[in-house]
Structure 1
Amino acid sequence: MLTRYLHCIDHTGLSSYLSAGGESQAVARYPDSSEGVSQFSAWLARARPGTHTLLVDLPDEGFQSETIPFVAGADRKTLIARKQAQLFFGSPYSTAISLGREKEGRRDERILFAAVTRPAALEPWLAALHQHEAPLAALYSVPLLTRQLLSGLNPESPRGLIVSFSPAGIRQTYFENGELRFSRLSPAPEGDYASWGEACLRETQKTVQYLTTQRWITRNVRLPVWLLLARHDFAAVLASLERAEQLDFHLVNLETLAHHFGERSRTTASDSHPLMMRLALRAGRAPQLAPDNERRSYQLQRLRQAILWGGAIAAGVLLCLALNNHLASRSLWQQGAALQAESQQEELRYQQLLATLPQLPTSLESLHSVVNGIDQLAARRADPADALRRLAHVLDDYPDVDVLRIDWQQADDASGTVSATLDAALPLSAAADPRAAIIRIRAFAAAVRAQGDELSLLNLPFDVESDKTLRSGADTPNKRPEFKLRLLISPEKQP
């Protein structure tokens, strides 16, 4: 995490502090001179990387309330920039605070413009920061922290005056409806804070006269004043405030208020700087005076940090996804290993069970094949009786045909069609007249075809090609003429 530095600038010079653990630790003090600026630049060269916040407590401040037409976006920014250039010509250290819209007329927007009117008091210190590319987070003035301060005071009145002491002097800040309206810094009197009562009363009365002249308050209304002091200075300062007219003083314990905002170091004096430093470190998006070109290094640093954090978050997400995938893969592998072990155990039990059975005359695979064939035959309900009966009717009409072999097979589909292959032979006497034998065989085939759907003569006993002389296929006349035919018979055919 980057170190956070806070630098307080007043008329005497610059004081550097290191913020750590809710405490502001003093680093060094540099006088308002060229030598002091050189010392500050040398310290920046060897300081640890970090962000730098500037807190200004100078009397060279300007506050102007103006109204602008109620617009938004780029038009509003242009109007505000034009007003700032008109009101604080030559000073880039300015800001604008919206005070709301008017209740009558065009309901224009009321803007409080605040600026450091003597830029020379800041430029040497800012130049040193720019030279060493030290990221400038913000440039605050003490009055710009009024809104935060009011959140700790919780005043019952909508308007009032806040008075605080510091080495820079006596600060009086006027607020209205929770917003800053005006502030002035009076020179610091001589002596310790307990003796500043007379000067505090005198300067506060001057501020009240100015507010009355500006018609922000009326003469017949008592103005509440919150005075920030250490407890041991209450009695001494309060004794000098008894002659106050038109003012109601309320003493506030400075140490208690500082602890409310997270400052852990003990406050031993009525110096309000530690409190203001804590408010500056907590300011966040409060109005600040530094122009954009002075904060470019800080913006680039924030962008780099955002990219690094985004990359770290993305890497973490990817790492979690990878770990999740690894755990899921490991779980699947373990489940697969368990299933494989269980399968091996079941195979072992199966083999052990087979070993207890009696020996079979053939292999188990052959029995499986036979059983499957029987099951298929049973499912098909193959029955060649009808087909054979039809062949028997034909054979009754051809007693000279001698059936040698019949092979039958039922079709694989559920039609019930029977394929029969018939090996037959004529008497030996038919071999003497091949032509008559062929005619007899063809007549028998025609009779058989009438009983089926399709018939094919596969083999004849004689060569019947057209370009050859009809002769016996056998060398000896003692051989019976044999032939073969194939017949398809559907179950719908009737004999």
Structure 2
Amino acid sequence: MTGLRNAQVLLLRNGMAEVYVLSSGRIDLATPTPLTSAVALNVWCTGFAVHKHPWLILVDQSDELFWWDHLPSLRGKSKAIWLDKLASKHSESPLRLFELSKPKTKVKGMAVTGVVLEQHEQVTAWVKVLLELNAKVQGIYIPAMFHTDSGKPWSHNEPHLILSAHPQGIRQTVFDGKRLIFSRLAMGHFMDRASIKNEVLRLEDYLIAKHMLPTSTQLPVLALDLKDVLQDDEDDARHFELDQQHYVSNTRDVAQAYPQFKWSNTVENRQELRAMAAMLTRPPRHQLAPAAWLAIYTLGQRIKTGWQVALASVLIFAGFAAHHQWHILQLNQGIEVLIRQSADLSVRYESIAKSFPRTPAGTDAMVAAVRLMDWLEAQPQANPAVLLGTLGHALEDFPHLKLLELQWGTQLPPEAAKPKDQPQGQPVKPVVAPQSLRVRGTMTSNQSMRDQRDTVTQFTQALQAHAGLKVKVIRMPYDLQTDSAFTGGVTTNTNQPTFELQLWMP
């Protein structure tokens, strides 16, 4: 916990006031001589920048009234009205604070623990001076609100008592975990341990009677620096024991207990300043002043929070913008790299394309053929390599034939496509369609019609000579087509010497 860095503390004690200034973690006493009245505070503030940092008011006096009650099941506005009436029932002082918790006893409802400063006029006069000067009053606190022990030998979840030295006696503060439930300043001079133990027992009986503690509760006690209070021959306060559940702490050096602050030489190292150091370390969220007294501080905090939210939003949006800008820059760089690679590949392709043989097929057709071959190689059951190889070997013996079109696929031959009668009761075996290749070609020689037809017939017989290959002649050269015009007279036959064959191979 680093604590606050800049603040002013108004310490009210015995009708007088002291002002401590916390600047960049350094604590200085701004009033070497205690101020005796609110008028003196007004005069002192004339030469002091009261608007710069928030004010924390610590009231160390013996007019604290603690009360306990229970709250029925209420919500919303009715709950706030009930709590206000409950607090007003115990005292009309505007300096009050109450907290809700689950009761430790069998009493039904929510437990309400409250604290009121009864002689509020003594505090109000000092605060009005600061409010008239538009000071940022952050809150009004009492020493009992701060859990000032360190190195506790018990659990924080248990009720426990802290005894601390005070110029007017001994302060008794009861915490339930870290929640304050009771505090009182036992006035007088306690000469021995027996009188202190008697005060502890009286306090336990009182809290049990008020249902603030369960029956037969024995409070663990932490005694803070009672060596100056005990007036006996014992030099070592560590020997102080009430019973086996009581402990002693001799952390008299407040500067060592709170090393996050730099203490000026003008500040006396007094035990009473322990509460102030704890307050500056972590000011409680709850305090005693009415909300109207904190209007300037609250407004300043809201403005500060608004600026912080705005700044955080700007930083977040700037971060997103920078991230997206970096991402866009990376994409642009990637696009530039791809453009350069594409240009390099285009130049490389043009240099390679110069070595290609002359062919009527365009680049797109070649790319499509390559992609088709890649797909065919990935199909183990459909590979036209055998059909194409057989057709290629047969063409070697017929150089006058020129292929115009090849259509490869899977198709049943006509005789296999007809359904056959199957004996009843037997499942029908599925028929697997074999590979089919449709061939369309023409003649490149000046042979006669008869010779050209004979050449195609010989080519068909050469294909049929291969085992497993079935061939069907679909069209012979100079066959008449049903869709062609038939005219009389002596004319030149314009039919092209084309032929079509259908090949099947399982």
- TM-score scaled by length of structure 1: 0.60
1:25 to 12, 25, 28: 28
Partners of 1:155 and 1:52 lie apart in 2 by: 34
Q: Secondary structure at the match of 1:24?
A: strand
Asked if residue 36 in structure 1 is aligned to residue 40 in structure 2, the reply is yes
Structure ranking higher in helix proportion: 1
Partners of 1:394 and 1:98 lie apart in 2 by: 112
Deviations 1:266-288 (A, max 9, x none): 79977223210122124444542
Matching residue of 1:229 = 225
Asked if residue 378 in structure 1 is aligned to residue 405 in structure 2, the reply is yes
Compared CA separation, residues 357 and 101, structure 1 to 2 (3 A)? closer
Q: Secondary structure at the match of 1:342?
A: helix
Matching residue of 1:139 = 140
Matching residue of 1:276 = 275
Return 5+ residue gaps in structure 2 as ranges.
210-215, 367-401, 408-439, 443-475, 501-506
Asked if residue 3 in structure 1 is aligned to residue 6 in structure 2, the reply is yes
Q: Secondary structure at the match of 1:122?
A: helix
Matching residue of 1:471 = none
Matching residue of 1:115 = 116
Deviations 1:112-156 (A, max 9, x none): 3321112222223322332343332221111222xx135654468
AA aligned to 1:78 is I
Compared CA separation, residues 259 and 23, structure 1 to 2 (3 A)? farther
Partners of 1:12 and 1:277 lie apart in 2 by: 18
1:303 to partner: Cα distance: 2.4
Deviations 1:240-277 (A, max 9, x none): 999xx996685422346764555555799772232101
Q: Secondary structure at the match of 1:378?
A: strand
Compared CA separation, residues 258 and 210, structure 1 to 2 (3 A)? farther
1:315-354 equivalences under 5 Å are 315-353=314-352
Deviations 1:87-131 (A, max 9, x none): 212x20011244742634x52544333211122222233223323
Q: Secondary structure at the match of 2:97?
A: strand
Matching residue of 1:403 = 491
Compared CA separation, residues 209 and 15, structure 1 to 2 (3 A)? same
Partners of 2:286 and 2:343 lie apart in 1 by: 77
Compared CA separation, residues 206 and 83, structure 1 to 2 (3 A)? farther
1:162 to partner: Cα distance: 0.9
Q: Is the 8 A contact 1:164 1:228 kept in 2?
A: yes
1:184 to partner: Cα distance: 1.9
Deviations 1:458-482 (A, max 9, x none): xxxxxxxxxxxxxxxxxxxxxxxxx
Q: Secondary structure at the match of 2:105?
A: coil
Partners of 1:226 and 1:203 lie apart in 2 by: 16
Partners of 1:345 and 1:246 lie apart in 2 by: 92
AA aligned to 2:98 is A
Partners of 2:257 and 2:309 lie apart in 1 by: 34
Partners of 1:33 and 1:112 lie apart in 2 by: 32
Q: Is the 8 A contact 2:66 2:116 kept in 1?
A: yes
1:87-236 equivalences under 5 Å are 87-89=90-92, 91-98=93-100, 100-101=102-103, 103-104=105-106, 107-145=108-146, 148-150=147-149, 153-154=152-153, 159-160=160-161, 162-166=163-167, 169-175=168-174, 177-178=176-177, 179-184=180-185, 186=187, 198=191, 207=199, 211=203, 214=206, 226-229=222-225
Q: Secondary structure at the match of 2:54?
A: strand
Q: Is the 8 A contact 2:169 2:190 kept in 1?
A: no
AA aligned to 2:141 is Y
Q: Is the 8 A contact 2:251 2:257 kept in 1?
A: no
1:272-311 equivalences under 5 Å are 272-285=271-284, 287-311=286-310
Compared CA separation, residues 257 and 21, structure 1 to 2 (3 A)? same
Partners of 1:376 and 1:279 lie apart in 2 by: 102
Compared CA separation, residues 394 and 281, structure 1 to 2 (3 A)? closer
Compared CA separation, residues 84 and 222, structure 1 to 2 (3 A)? closer
Partners of 1:165 and 1:368 lie apart in 2 by: 105
Return 5+ residue gaps in structure 1 as ranges.
188-195, 411-415, 417-495
Partners of 1:283 and 1:389 lie apart in 2 by: 105
Bigger radius of gyration: 1
Matching residue of 1:52 = 55
- TM-score scaled by length of structure 2: 0.59
Q: Is the 8 A contact 2:68 2:112 kept in 1?
A: yes
Q: Secondary structure at the match of 1:310?
A: helix
1:307 to partner: Cα distance: 2.4
- Number of aligned residue pairs: 379
Give percent identity, aligned residues only: 14
Partners of 1:394 and 1:402 lie apart in 2 by: 12
AA aligned to 1:136 is V
Partners of 1:260 and 1:159 lie apart in 2 by: 21
